[in-house]
Chain A
């Protein structure tokens, strides 16, 4: 299955994009992009944040209109005015953020807005139809379950089934593995290969180079809105792709070497003792967690997203109040931990959902950049707020974050997700004197930016700052942490010295299973 599909050179591509151009105010999203998709291939679309991958696919599926260029479907010029028209033509996209109705069942979601949905069908009929579709396409879903009850991987399968049920022959997946556990990702890949074997095509958008190498037949690399190259995957290596993506020689690895060896454990700066906390719906989000956070160490939190990490990071920064248990700072139990308190003692916080809690989307880049510094000079002077000084700091942070801005007055929501992430990360690192809690800091970043970011976290660690790194990427955690804690269903399942931990144990704990053999656990605190 790894060989490139034998294709006569004259064979017509299923989809051809020709010289696509798209400009947003202040940003060139796409310029002169050519792209073609053959029948029976998985074509990876690779690029840094803001490289124009999503824009290109949104143009293909009719969400955006291109400013220039044209779309050929089976050699015929075609324009889609909406995703509905695109799916009618057999092109379906599964977005990074699922577009499912959470209160509906799987069967209802699959049949929603579909012309082949029988009128006046009972739940049983819809479920039977869904089960049949699920079997036909080899995507295991529970037809009668509500979307609310499903894991991210199951939801994704529902999305894909929705698209396939509508006889799609082109499936576009935007960062599909971002929300999956390794085993869920393997299941997905199997389904994709089966889909391809039936003569269909897949466009696979990803940041993860190893995945691209594993699953795709060809790769197209975008950079700064332009196409760099389209290449057969067989001719590519991780290094080569990384280089093409960022346009410069990448220094991958070497992170472990950058970590200053430590002789003894650092002092405990923040410590949780049997802390429980409610999640946003009032259910138990964090359950009796005990965790020491030590100076000069990177503590990794492994686990599938949604297993209490959000609550943990918010407890560690004062944003959420514990329902029971104690939060200690430098050994002193805090009466009433608050965000202001943690800010005062120098705890930075890169929140997991920056648009929701890390930035004010409608305010300017400048206003958002000074969120942590507006109370102190030079931005504050007595009761005054100095926009000029705010701009200066914003420019500094943007320069450190290597983000080029159209204007400091632009609302921050107009920046790409990756650029927002970089700005927030730099802003938080600036204030992290004692500790920094980074929740999925590399989510949505490309390899170059991830490596830079991890290196900065290591620098902070080496300077004696306590770093908490919450991540789903086990490789990332094993690369840069001193200790790893695993979370499952709101509980801290174990805490390991990274050098003694093995991937399998951690992986099993992430799924809630403990290995029969006793793992080398380090006692908490």
Chain B
């Protein structure tokens, strides 16, 4: 009998957050190691690339600004997905809601004149309302027709994308500078507080904390948690399950829409076709990384932002986009594997089996 036979993997159902974290740190390092080997084999110097990334992202003021600008939409879309996960549903349409939020804010910016602070508030409301409106049909279909929200929210992304492309290259096209792919500049801007980093970042940081507090310290939050954990028990407790579901879905859409609004008024200042930068889809990944924890969304988004930022830096060092995407995918895959592995524990087989190994 070999020693290996006396060891066995056992699956445990409940895993502590600390275990998950440890597994992820290990997997992250492992992914970097694999990436480094491949890069070295292709003739790059992984160590040099690594130091470049650190220097240019975390080690410089501009790098930190960029990180903050990436973080803002990622936190909000990640939160949008997490909010819906809390009631047991998936919002795959954060991208579309982001577009419509940006679209609505741009509409206010281009066509309504007024003092900037008031207009920003109006943009804020329009962005959130736009996002909520964009998820309204999937919400009603889900609440009254039990139509799978994953499909409906996803499909509306393409509608939103095409709508924005149409207005950005057509009716709202910038005719003064002659660009063909974007609208004119939105005159109202979120004020900056750290280089190019605007107050939207602070809003993004506060939102998950606020939502976490709502869940924990309000009756409404309790009802959401109960409904998400067991809708039948919620019905039994007298909670209007359908109404809560509708509220949460609209909130989720509003948060994604807000992300779009902040992107227009804080970062890009114009509406253009690629403005979502896939933030909506990345938000799904952020939410999965956060494992349903609203505050965890900030950490998940931070990891995602660092990876994306590193990708941009790597491109300046001569790597192709495809290679960068492959590296990103590698890290994500390792993380997913780590989450699964954290559920397993290596245990020694029965004592007498071990004893038999020792004596025999």
Contacts and interface: CB of A to CB of B under 8 A. Distances in A.
- A and B from one assembly? yes
Interface of A: 25, 65-66, 68-71, 77, 79, 81, 317, 319, 338-343, 349, 351, 356-363, 367, 370-372, 374-375, 380, 383-387, 411, 414
A360 B220 contact: no
B14 A387 contact: no
Contacts of B232: 356-357
Contact of A319 (B14, B218, B236): B236
Nearest to B356: A77
Contacts of B10: 65
Contacts of B220: 383
B4 interface: no
Contacts of A361: 229-230
A65 B219 CA distance: 42
Nearest to B232: A357
B239 to A, nearest CB: 8
Nearest to B227: A360
B351 interface: yes
Given A79-B350, A343-B238, A384-B219, A363 B229 contact: yes
B233 A371 contact: yes
Given A65-B347, A349-B236, A360-B230, A383 B218 contact: yes
Given A65-B8, A360-B226, A360-B233, 16 more contacts: A65-B350, A69-B351, A79-B350, A81-B8, A339-B237, A341-B238, A349-B236, A358-B236, A361-B229, A374-B222, A380-B219, A384-B219, A385-B221, A385-B222, A411-B14, A414-B14
B176 interface: no
Contacts, number: 90
A351 B230 CA distance: 14
A319 B219 contact: no
A256 B233 CA distance: 34
Contact of A358 (B216, B233, B350): B233
B294 to A, nearest CB: 16
Interface residues of B, number: 28
B225 interface: yes
A364 to B, nearest CB: 10
B2 interface: no
Across the A-B interface, give the 8 residue pairs with the lowest CB-CB distance, nearest first.
Answer: A340-B238, A360-B229, A360-B230, A339-B238, A357-B232, A385-B222, A70-B352, A343-B238
Nearest to A353: B232
Interface of B: 8, 10, 14, 216-222, 225-226, 229-230, 232-238, 347, 349-353, 356
11 contacts: A65-B10, A71-B350, A77-B356, A319-B235, A343-B237, A357-B230, A361-B229, A361-B230, A374-B222, A383-B218, A385-B216
A25 B15 CA distance: 11
B20 to A, nearest CB: 16
Contacts of A66: 350
Contacts of A414: 14
Contacts of B226: 360, 363, 367, 371
Contacts of A380: 219
A411 B14 CA distance: 10
A387 B217 contact: yes
Contacts of A71: 350
B331 to A, nearest CB: 29
A25 B14 contact: yes
Contacts of A359: 230, 233
A203 B356 CA distance: 29
B222 A367 contact: yes
Contact of A387 (B216, B237, B351): B216
A284 to B, nearest CB: 21
B217 A384 contact: yes
B238 A338 contact: yes
Contacts of B218: 383-385
A431 to B, nearest CB: 11
A340 B349 CA distance: 52
A357 B351 contact: no
A371 B235 CA distance: 11
A379 to B, nearest CB: 9
Contacts of A383: 218-220
Contacts of A386: 217
A338 B216 CA distance: 26
Nearest to B353: A79
Contacts of A349: 236
A319 B14 CA distance: 31
